[in-house]
Amino acid sequence: MDTVISNCIYLGKGLIFTLELTMGSIAVGLALGVFLSVLRHCRICVSLVRGWSSIIRGTPLILQLSIIYFSIPNLIGVRMNILSAGIIAFGLNSSAYVAEILRSGIESLPKGQFEAARTLGIPTFYMWRDIILPQVAMNILPTLVNEVIALLKETTLISIIGGMDIMRRSQIVAAEQFEYFMPLCIAGVYYYCLAMLIEFIGEKIERKVAYAKNS
């Protein structure tokens, strides 16, 4: 019993790391993704955004992570800590997917909403911030929740640059104690709880904004 508790505590530290990594990455991914999807509507930037999206989605995440952690510090001569490198890599990666989700959300909005904003003399910045994006956010929320859960599971890749997340810690415990089942079960429970937490928060927000779903 003692080993179970001490393993839970040991993996619990990984839970905090995983949570920090996921939240940091999704914050970066959302901010950059929104920026990219709006930039898509500026004529000169379209191909830039498309190129970015295409490169990110066409290369393995593990490669992107390695470039950011191993090779960029080599080039500019600054070492990054594992968490920041992870947040940057996962954040950049998810920005392309978030931008893609947003793009379809924006495209499915009636063109008349943009036109109504224009006829009322609403400047572009405010149109996006107050009229377009809030509606898009409402519509894509379920897809976005899926993206966050996918990101949570992808953060397990952090172990290749030495990040001590839930998965890595469970493997260390397993190797030390020659016992796989228990630590992996604990890891599974932790990941599942995190995923359910994300889904719960998503549903909470969804219920709050449901009033305006169908106009």
Partner 1 sequence: MNEKWPMLKIHNASKSFNGVEVLNNVSLEVAKSDVLGLAGPSGSGKSTLLRCIQQLEILDGGSMECDGKIGFMFQDFQLFPHLTVLQNLLYALNLGEKNARRRQSNEMQAKIMLKNLGIEAKASMYPYSLSGGQKQRVALARSLMVDPDVLLCDEPTSGLDVATTMDVVLLLKSACETGVTMIIASHDLDFLTKISNRIVLLRDGKIVLDVDVKQCQDPVNHLKKYYAD
Least distance (Å) from partner 1 to the CB of residue 126? 6
Q: Can you read off the two tokens belonging to residue 117?
A: 């904003």
DSSP 210: G
Ranges assigned E (strand) in the chain: none
Please identify, using beta-carbon distances, which residue of 130 and 179 lies nearer to partner 1: 130
Count Cβ atoms below 10 Å from residue 146 Cβ, excluding itself: 14
Please identify, using beta-carbon distances, which residue of 53 and 135 lies nearer to partner 1: 135
Please identify, using beta-carbon distances, which residue of 21 and 38 lies nearer to partner 1: 38
Cα–Cα distances (Å) from 64 to 13, 67, 92, in that order, read 26, 5, 9
Least distance (Å) from partner 1 to the CB of residue 136? 10
Least distance (Å) from partner 1 to the CB of residue 213? 7
Least distance (Å) from partner 1 to the CB of residue 111? 9
| Cα separation, 153 vs 3, whole angstroms | 26
Please identify, using beta-carbon distances, which residue of 51 and 110 lies nearer to partner 1: 110
Please identify, using beta-carbon distances, which residue of 58 and 121 lies nearer to partner 1: 121
Least distance (Å) from partner 1 to the CB of residue 132? 10
Point out which residues bind partner 1 (CB under 8 A). Answer: 110, 112-113, 115-116, 118-123, 126, 130-131, 134-135, 138, 209, 211-215
Q: Could you write out the three-class secondary structure of 38-86?
A: HHCCCHHHHHHHHHHHHHHHHCCHHHHHHHHHHHHHHHHCCCCCHHHHH
Please identify, using beta-carbon distances, which residue of 28 and 106 lies nearer to partner 1: 106
Least distance (Å) from partner 1 to the CB of residue 94? 25
Quick check: 168 and 159 in contact, CB under 8 A? Answer: yes
Quick check: 169 and 10 in contact, CB under 8 A? Answer: yes
| Cα separation, 62 vs 70, whole angstroms | 12
Q: b vs e for 107-143, b when ≥16 Cβ sit within 10 Å of the residue's Cβ?
A: eeeeeebbeebeeeebeeeebbeebbbebbbbbbbee
